[in-house]
Amino acid sequence: PKRVRIHHLQQWKDAGERWPMLTAYDFPTARIFDGAGIPVLLVGDSAANNVLGYDSTVPVSVDELLMLTKAVVRGVSRSLVVADLPFGSYQSSPAQALETAVRFFKEGGASAVKLEGGAQYAGQIRALTDAGIPVMAHLGFTPQSEHALGGFRVQGRGAGAEKLIEDALAVQAAGAFAVVLEMVPADVAKRVTAELRVPTVGIGAGPDTDAQVLVWPDMAGLNTGKAPRFVKRYADLAGALGGAAEQFADEVREGVYPTAEHSFE
C-alpha cells in the first residue's frame, strides 16, 4: 500500500502474512524505517529510557512524547504511526484517555494510539474508538506496571494464561485493532493469536504472533548493556558511532581534518 492503514494490518493477518514493527522516536530514524518498508512505527514510551535517560517508562510526560511523535510523523510517508499513551494519562477515566489521545491525534499527527492493560481499560478503548481514534492494546508484561508485576517477568504462565486470553478478547471486543503481547510464553501467544480476529504483535512472545516489534536501539545495537532474551541485534550502531567519533577526534587532534577539500577558498 502507498500509505499503511489499519485495515491493511487486518488483511495481512487474514492472508497469513507476518509484518514487522519498530519503535521510532525522531525524524531521521522514522525516515530510515519508513524507507526500509517497516509498515508500523511505534513512538513508544520506551523513549523514556532510550531517548530521555529515565530509568523506567513511568516518568515520561505527554508533552515529551508529543514532541517525539510530531518528529516521527514528519519523517514518514508510508508507515502508520502509533503513539504510546504514557503512564498516568489514561488510567483515571475514559474521558481522560480521550483527552490525551486527542492530543496525540490532533497535535501529534499520530494515526493510532496504544495503551497498556486489558479488560479494566475496555471503557477507555471504547471511548477512543468511538471518537475515531484507533487503539492498539498491550498485554502480558506491561512496563508501566513494572512495580505491580514485581519486575521484568514473563506473564501469562499457568493460570495466568486464561486471564491473558480473557483480556485479549475484552480489548478486541472494546474495539482494539491489534494487541501487543510482551513477554508471554510462546504457546500462550500462539493461542491468543489463533483466538483473536485482530492481529497480535509479539515482543518476547515467540514466533507465532501475527507481527513482531522490537525497540530500535536494542535491535540496532545502540544499546550495549545486557539485552533481554528476546532481543536480536542486527547491527552495532554503538560501535559504529563511537568509532566515528573517535576517528573524528583523532583527526582533529592530528590536524588530518579538515583538508583543502573541506575548506572554502
Residues forming contacts to Na ion in the complex (CB under 5 A) are 44-45, 84
Query: Is 182 annotated as catalytic?
Result: yes
Residue range at the interface with ligand KIV (CB under 6 A); choices 24-32, 38-46, 73-81, 118-126: 38-46
Is residue 46 within the footprint of ligand KIV (CB under 6 A)? yes
**Residue 84 marked as a ligand binder:** yes
Is residue 167 within the footprint of ligand KIV (CB under 6 A)? no
- 127 vs 215 by CB, closer to ligand KIV: 215
**Residue 93 marked as a ligand binder:** no
Maximum CA extent, the chain = 74
Q: Which of 194, 190, 217 is nearest to 202 (CA)?
A: 190
Interatomic CA distance for residues 71 and 139, integer angstroms: 27
- 58 vs 250 by CB, closer to ligand KIV: 58
Answer whether 84's CB lies under 8 Å from 136's CB. Answer: no
Cα distance from N-terminal residue to C-terminal residue, the chain: 49
Cell digits of residue 204: 518476547
Interatomic CA distance for residues 161 and 28, integer angstroms: 39
* Torsion region of 246: left, alpha or beta (phi above 0 gives left; psi -120 to 50 gives alpha): alpha
Task: From the candidates 182, 246, 251, 254, give the one annotated as an active-site residue.
Answer: 182
Interatomic CA distance for residues 14 and 76, integer angstroms: 26
Interface map 83-112 toward ligand KIV (x if CB under 6 A): -x----------------------------
Interface map 192-231 toward ligand KIV (x if CB under 6 A): -----------x---------x-x----------------
Residues lying near ligand KIV in the complex (CB under 6 A): 23, 42, 44-46, 84, 138, 180, 203, 213, 215
